[in-house]
Chains A and B, each alone.
Chain A
Amino acid sequence: MAICSYIVYPQPGSRDALRSKLTGIAGCDVMPAENNDVMILVTDTNSDSHETAVQQALKQIPEIQCLALTFGDI
């Protein structure tokens, strides 16, 4: 039952691939910057197991260079 937001830094050259991987995860919304490679990610999960699954999925995306948490309401 958590809502978090992050600034996501992609690995160089992998912005579009990262974006499509993130949007493929249930509970993830992405807002890409128009003039920068970074994007805003909002995760909105409905249970502890959902939250764990999202965190696991994020860890397995090689295109993520860095995730910076900016908001968390757990």
Chain B
Amino acid sequence: MSGVSRRTFLRMAAVSAASAAATTLFPGIVFGEWVHSDHDSSDVQWNKTPCRFCGVGCGLLVGIAGGRAVAVKGDPDSPVNKGLCCVKGYHSVQALYGKDRLKKALVRKNGTLVETPIAEALDLVANTMASTIKEHGKDAVSVYGSGQWTIPDGYVASKFLKGGIGTNNLEANARLCMASAVTGFLTSFGLDEPMGCYEDIDHADVFVLWGNNMAEMHPVLFSRLLDRRRKKKGVVIIDLATRTTRTSHAADKSILFKPQTDLAIANAICQVLVENNWVNHSFVQQHVSFKAGKTDIGYGLEDDFTFKDEARAVDLQDFQAFLADYTPEKVAAYSGVSADDIRYLAALYGDPARKVVSYWCMGMNQHTRGTWINNLVYNIHLLVGKISQPGNGPFSLTGQPSACGTVREVGTLTHKLPHGVVMNEDDRRMAAEIWKVPFERIPAKPTHHTVSMFRALDRGDIRFMWIQVTNPMVTMPKLKRYRDGAKKEGRFIVVSDVYPTPTTDIADVILPSAMWFEREGMFGNSERRTQHFNQLVAPPGDAMSDTWQLIEVARRMGYGDLFPWSYDDHIREIWREYGRFHDSPKHAMAPYEVLRQAPGAIWPFVNGRSTKWRYNAAYDPAASPGSDFDFYGKPDHRAWIWLRPYEPPPEIPDAAYPFWLNTGRVVEHWHTGSMTRRIPTLHRAAPAAYVEIHPHDAERLGIRNGESVRLVSRRGEIIVAAVLDGRGQPTVGQVFVPFFDESKLINELTLDAYCPISKQPDYKKCAVRVEKV
């Protein structure tokens, strides 16, 4: 590193350390401009890029000097973050420069990983994939990707697997974080992704956070909420959660509920709205249909589990009768939330003078009734007509930087195509035409969702798996089964990553990936905003983008005609081809040239403009002219209110396992920590996983702060340090463990039960025992 860039780098590290400390001390703190700056900035070139980490999708300016990223700041031109960053964003570029960065391909030979020229490693991947198909059939190979894939990565994977090989064995880790949001949107509105955008924050009076620790998980957005409250009198933030967090402390009101009872609380809010006649009848009459689905739908614990929901038409009277079981008093008896608090929440939603936004993320999505609870929060907004308007709307936040852009929009899931689903003949014909492949090659039947895919690997139905940009050997629930399965004889695992992880530990081939702005790409964030980034620095050693790795292997397998692009133009050409799938006012994507210039664009991008509020004819060109709202995703042009009951989770605490286990993230670390644990300041701030225990439980068990305890579930156990009165405090009878620490694998304990509609596992609820060591 040159003297200048080293100094600038150190200054950046110094600022990052201070901001990290300040964020810890004062959640929601916002820093302004440098007052007096004499940086050696003349040697630094600033370039825009979206942040590598969370789904907020902040715009960053990265400073490059001497071929190296040396500084980072929030992009003041980004409408997402308006120049702000969180602690991860400020430190983000340091994630490129960890000492043990993977720079060469590694191939396992006689049990040992051996450095291998990348061309040879790619040959081996292609040959093994081809021979597996020959021996076991095309459904014996699979690709498991990520919501951290760029859009081109996901698009190329889909074209290769579905249009080239002809298998639907394509999944992504967004199944573990966003699938219930997708099925929630599809069942209620017929189209995926939020109707509003972050600008809602600048108009809302009430923010209800459903199981969402925004202060740590979406910190820049939470800063915007706090800013809104500071600037507008009467703005309130309600934290509705199962544990007390930094968000609870910053909120105006913290309401704690018992795990899974959010279903009942949402219905109780609707019951109060109907009982008090706070329903917006004209909106409901014009824009809403009522549906009932199946009940007692299971939990997906068996390998051969199947489920298909059916919608039955009902009406407002049926809905009213259904809600009779959900009076505030009845729900208070098992939710832990007082009837008064339920009425208070209903009054906020029901007050026509207040604009309300509901936010949620993993609390509602990682839920064995995840689709249902998404539906139920939509029900509330639809009943009062507070939707698709500035400051009014339900807003499902996403965790990963491109869970929306790559997994949901490109459709890197077994049942999806870049437009529509494999089950639909028209969608398959569209894909075949754009991809120039025989229509018959794209299979009409989905194969495996994520849990099912790893079960198939365990059984031997899948023999080859290529894992990119994700770390399933930390994140899969009931981890032991899937780790043992992946290590079985006759399985071949390829892992593309930037650092060694527990997943590279089980790999037969490790491919070094180019990370973030070491290549060109795009991410799509929570508010339907697509953001482009240029290649700003060279990747180290033989590292290669995931997009190009896939293309190289596809070409070696004889699918070169599907990927005719040169390295120099492949991202632009992929974007243009992909755009043909969404060429309508309902989903049009911004042109490549616009994305290169702008700090992102929100789709549908029509006539040179982002569409900020979908389904509202004042903003959305796809809505029928002359209507006020048009929920055009459904054949009846109406949004659907669903009658979804409370049903308990599959495993609840009992005498042998008396505690609820909840898992999640912390602000300092990104997911499994494979990047952020290599950033010294972030690692020092949160060096190891721990278990939060309520002080009363700790006292009863004779556990003191910092002492090691053993957590045991029916599936496994780990030993971690106990934290009493830490940054979060669970309720009595509940413990919380973050999952960023690969040396303390909490997913050894979790349960692989999932929502039967979305197939998304529940990481928030299973039963454990706590033992003093």
Question: Is there an interface contact between B34 and A29, defined as CB atoms closer than 8 Å?
Answer: yes
Within 8 A of A (CB), among B16-48: 16-22, 25-26, 28-39
Q: Which stretch (B5-13, B195-203, B276-284, B597-605) binds chain A?
A: B5-13
CA distance A40 to B33 in the complex (A): 11
Question: Is there an interface contact between B31 and A5, defined as CB atoms closer than 8 Å?
Answer: no
Whether a CB of chain A sits under 8 angstroms from the CB of B14 is yes
User: Separation in Å of the B73 CB from the closest CB of chain A?
Assistant: 10
Query: Cβ of B20: which chain A residues have Cβ within 8 Å of it?
Result: 70
Within 8 A of B (CB), among A16-47: 19, 22-23, 27-36, 38, 40-42, 44
Question: Is there an interface contact between A42 and B11, defined as CB atoms closer than 8 Å?
Answer: yes
Question: Is there an interface contact between A34 and B13, defined as CB atoms closer than 8 Å?
Answer: no
User: Separation in Å of the B94 CB from the closest CB of chain A?
Assistant: 13
CA distance A22 to B36 in the complex (A): 9
CA distance A44 to B7 in the complex (A): 9
| The residue from A22, A35, A40, A44 contacting B18, defined by CB atoms under 8 A apart | A40
* CB-CB under 8 A for A32 and B35, given A38-B26, A73-B10: yes
Query: Cβ of B357: which chain A residues have Cβ within 8 Å of it?
Result: none
Question: Is there an interface contact between B11 and A44, defined as CB atoms closer than 8 Å?
Answer: yes
Question: Is there an interface contact between A71 and B29, defined as CB atoms closer than 8 Å?
Answer: no
Query: Cβ of B34: which chain A residues have Cβ within 8 Å of it?
Result: 29-31
Tell which of A4, A7, A23, A41 has the most Cβ of chain B within 10 Å: A7
Whether a CB of chain B sits under 8 angstroms from the CB of A68 is yes
CA distance A42 to B38 in the complex (A): 11
CB closest chain-B residue, reference A8: B18
User: Separation in Å of the A7 CB from the closest CB of chain B?
Assistant: 5
Question: Is there an interface contact between A31 and B31, defined as CB atoms closer than 8 Å?
Answer: yes
Tell which of A28, A32, A34 has the most Cβ of chain B within 10 Å: A34
For A, the interface residue count at a CB cutoff of 8 angstroms equals: 27
Whether a CB of chain B sits under 8 angstroms from the CB of A54 is no
Work out how many contacts link A and B, with CB atoms closer than 8 A.
89
Tell which of B7, B14, B15, B26 has the most Cβ of chain A within 10 Å: B14
User: Separation in Å of the B343 CB from the closest CB of chain A?
Assistant: 32
CA distance A73 to B33 in the complex (A): 23
Query: Cβ of B19: which chain A residues have Cβ within 8 Å of it?
Result: 40
CA distance A28 to B39 in the complex (A): 11
Q: Mark B264-294, 1 if CB is under 8 A from A, else 0.
A: 0000000000000000000000000000000
Query: Cβ of B681: which chain A residues have Cβ within 8 Å of it?
Result: 71
Question: Is there an interface contact between A7 and B10, defined as CB atoms closer than 8 Å?
Answer: no
Query: Cβ of A70: which chain B residues have Cβ within 8 Å of it?
Result: 14, 17-18, 20-21
CA distance A4 to B14 in the complex (A): 6
| The residue from B26, B38, B227 contacting A36, defined by CB atoms under 8 A apart | B26
User: Separation in Å of the B89 CB from the closest CB of chain A?
Assistant: 15
Query: Cβ of A68: which chain B residues have Cβ within 8 Å of it?
Result: 21
Whether a CB of chain B sits under 8 angstroms from the CB of A64 is no
Query: Cβ of A40: which chain B residues have Cβ within 8 Å of it?
Result: 15, 18-19, 22, 31
CA distance A68 to B226 in the complex (A): 25
Question: Is there an interface contact between B25 and A7, defined as CB atoms closer than 8 Å?
Answer: yes
Q: Mark A41-74, 1 if CB is under 8 A from B, else 0.
A: 1101000000000000000000000001011010
Whether a CB of chain A sits under 8 angstroms from the CB of B109 is no
Query: Cβ of A41: which chain B residues have Cβ within 8 Å of it?
Result: 18
Whether a CB of chain A sits under 8 angstroms from the CB of B230 is yes
* CB-CB under 8 A for A36 and B11, given A5-B18, A7-B22: no
Question: Is there an interface contact between A23 and B30, defined as CB atoms closer than 8 Å?
Answer: no
Within 8 A of A (CB), among B349-380: none
Query: Cβ of B31: which chain A residues have Cβ within 8 Å of it?
Result: 31-34, 40
CA distance A7 to B226 in the complex (A): 21
* CB-CB under 8 A for A42 and B30, given A3-B7, A7-B22, A29-B38: no
> Can you list the 5 inter-chain pairs with the closest CB atoms, starting with the nearest?
A5-B14, A71-B17, A23-B36, A5-B18, A71-B14
Residues of A within 8 A of B (CB): 3-7, 19, 22-23, 27-36, 38, 40-42, 44, 68, 70-71, 73
6 inter-chain pairs at a CB distance below 8 angstroms, sorted by A residue, are A3-B10, A5-B15, A29-B35, A32-B32, A33-B29, A40-B15
